[in-house]
Amino acid sequence: MKLVTVSALLCAMITLIVAAEEGGTEAKPSEEHLVEKRWYWYKYRGWYKYGNRYYRYFPYRLDWVHAQRHCQSMHANLASVRNLREYRVIQRVIYRATHSYPITWLGGSDAQKEHHWFWIDGTPFSFTYWCRGEPNNARHSEHCMHMNSSRHKCMNDIYCHYRYPYVCVWKRR
């Protein structure tokens, strides 16, 4: 068989598998659905799946807002964390990419109102893994959350204009 034929066959098979995984119960997929599907297909590559969440580490050093902007451009958000297991999963994603634990942006922020923390992706804010004494809102102007701070690799609030790599997340519906 020609390589082109093999590739085409593979593509078709993968498309079928992806369709099967997604249920394929809808009678008439809307155009929106197809667009969504294409995004899924593109996004499976390079994203780590955990439950229905897909994580990816980006090594570019951006401030929190631009990191979130970049996540959004991929239909994702800066990562939220619901429990310690997810925190460890995100650390593993970072480790796989860097073989270390660099300070990395997460999607937590209390920029709207001091002490009122939110996850930018809308996840209810309950789990935290703050370092001892954090969040301390140093100089009354730390409103963004990063992880892997200090030797304990915990969360710290920090200036949003600082530049760090980041982890994005998107959720499969």
Count of all residues that appear for the chain in the document = 173
Q: In which residue are the tokens 């499976």 written? A: 44
Cα-based distances in Å from 65 to 38, 62, 77: 26, 8, 11
Residues 138-167, interacting with Ca ion (CB under 5 A): 138, 142, 156-157
Pick the closer one to Ca ion by CB: 84 or 138.
138
Pick the closer one to ligand BGC by CB: 144 or 167.
144
Rule CB under 5 A: is residue 136 a binding residue for Ca ion?
A: yes
Residues 122-151, interacting with ligand BGC (CB under 6 A): 134, 136, 138, 142
Tokens of 170: 């998107």
Q: In which residue are the tokens 């789990």 written? A: 127
Pick the closer one to Ca ion by CB: 23 or 133.
133
Residues 105 and 160: beta-carbon distance below 8 Å: no
Interaction site with ligand BGC (CB under 6 A): 134, 136, 138, 142, 156, 158
